[in-house]
Amino acid sequence: MTSFSELTTMRVGGSPAGYEVFHTTRELVAGAQRIWAETDAWMALGGGSNLIVADSGIDATVLHIQTRGVTVKKATGKKVQIHAEAGEGWDDLVAHTIAQGVRGLETLSGIPGSVGASVIQNIGAYGAEVSDTLVSIDFLEYPSAQRRTIPADELELGLRTSAVKTETLRGIVLGVTFALEPATDGQSIPLLYEQLYRALGVAEGERAGLADVREAVLALRASKGMVLDPRDPDSVSAGSFFLNPIVSEKVARGLPADAPRWWVEPEPEDVVLPLAEKDNLPSTVSAGDMPVKLSAAWLIEYSGIPKGFSLPGSKAAVSSKHSLAITNRGGATAAEVAELARYIVTTVGNACGIYLVPEPTLVGLEV
Ligand SMILES: Cc1cc2nc3c(=O)[nH]c(=O)nc-3n(C[C@H](O)[C@H](O)[C@H](O)COP(=O)(O)OP(=O)(O)OC[C@H]3O[C@@H](n4cnc5c(N)ncnc54)[C@H](O)[C@@H]3O)c2cc1C
């Protein structure tokens, strides 16, 4: 029986009770209906790049989605609607859109996995996320096996989350539709991520050539071990292991001044008040409760866990290129990955009072 150590990019985990591969959407719908009629224990699988399963495996049937197909649904002067089946490779779709001269997905180059799963955690990188261009998903609802189109605004898309990830909505993403913009000038979307616009030698908010943006993103990602590469042991991971925590401004102020932080909502404007009214500052200013996003990678290093760190005798280690990724250095177990993750959560919690939350889907594992 196929094991999750072969099905996931972290290369750990035991076997599922059942395993079926689907190459067409029609077969997938029929297969899901048949499996759901027999059992409640099932699980969808794409590229296995955001999934860590226990060494004992799972008592469930895996539906491995390898459906293919990209269709241009609608091209109305300003936007092009592109639909891709769930099993298409995410990066293949990104490369295809760039080759077709449409912009919107280029900063998401190099993210592993399938198109269907891109919605599950609203993948994001270098200043963009799937929710920026998502129109709708073609969804097979569990347990009714009803097929329906769900618009993006009903998916509760947030920072690496969606209604499908939280299981408010259960079922299988069969396909995804994006609205992209024809890039008649060959230029990208405005670049908002500092590392990226600096690498391209443009100012914040400026654009660059679509292909140049892809190349720069791939190079930045490779320097952090964030592109799957058989020659790079740091890419044997599930990507970022922890979410960047969102805390109140008050908590963020307790950290050293050099701790990176970003306003989640637009930065509050300066409030100009006559001195006589100085006691009437608006509550948002005095309460310090504006949400602020922190860098989990920075918190990990600040807490004393360096890149490359591993626990004695363990084959799981923090990536030597990026402190946010846990890697399998060869022959690690899921238990070793979870043990290192727990160590990081506890150490950062003790040092900073902030408890990191894992980003990948964990099955049968506690962190
Ligand atoms: C090296 C590396 C770098 C990464 N960089 C990033 C990054 O920059 N940004 C980012 O956001 N993520 C990143 N990731 C995480 C990962 O690539 C994404 O989350 C990706 O979308 C997962 O796709 P997948 O097909 O591999 O999903 P899987 O791992 O197969 O599945 C993940 C979850 O989604 C569910 N699922 C999968 N397909 C479907 C479907 N069709 N319908 C319903 N449920 C489904 C599974 O049941 C599981 O719960 C990275 C991962 C790696 C290994």
> In order of start, what are the domains of the chain with their CATH numbers?
4-65 (3.30.43.10), 70-223 (3.30.465.10), 246-294 (no CATH)
Catalytic residue among 49, 240, 303, 323: 240
Taking the CA atoms of residue 290, residue 294, residue 300 and residue 304 in that order, the dihedral angle to the nearest 10 degrees is -70
Which atom of ligand 1 sits closest to the CA of residue 122?
11
Q: Are 133 and 181 in contact (CB under 8 A)?
A: no
Say yes or no: CB of residue 327 within 6 Å of ligand 1.
no
Q: Which residue has the tokens 């109305």?
A: 76
Catalytic residue among 85, 88, 129, 359: 359
At 283 the pLDDT is 46
Q: Are 308 and 267 in contact (CB under 8 A)?
A: no
Predicted local distance difference test score (pLDDT) of residue 73: 83
Over the stretch 52-89, which tens digit does the pLDDT of each residue have? Answer: 999 999 999 999 999 999 999 877 768 999 999 999 99
pTM confidence score: 0.94
- Residue range 46-50: mean pLDDT, rounded: 98
- For residue 47, how far is its CA from the centre of ligand 1 (angstroms)? 7
* Residue 160 annotated to the active site: yes
Report which of 19, 20, 24, 2 is spatially closest to residue 11, judged by C-alpha positions.
Answer: 2
- Does 359 qualify as catalytic in the annotation? yes
Give the 3-state secondary structure of residue 328.
Answer: strand
The terminus-to-terminus CA distance of the chain in angstroms comes to: 27
Asked whether residue 135 carries a pLDDT value surpassing 80, the answer given is yes
Q: At residue 60, what are phi and psi to the nearest 5 degrees?
A: -150, 160
Report the pLDDT value the prediction gives residue 276, as an integer from 0 to 100.
Answer: 65
Residue for token digits 């860098």? 295
Coil vs helix vs strand at 95: helix
Question: Residue 51 CA: which ligand 1 atom is closest?
Answer: 29
Nearest-CA residue for ligand 1 atom 14 is 239
Ligand 1 centroid from CA 160, angstroms = 10
Regarding the beta carbon of 109 and ligand 1, being less than 6 Å apart is answered no
The answer to whether 122 touches 160, Cβ cutoff 8 Å, is yes
Among 91, 229, 213, 239, which residue's Cα sits nearest to residue 160?
239
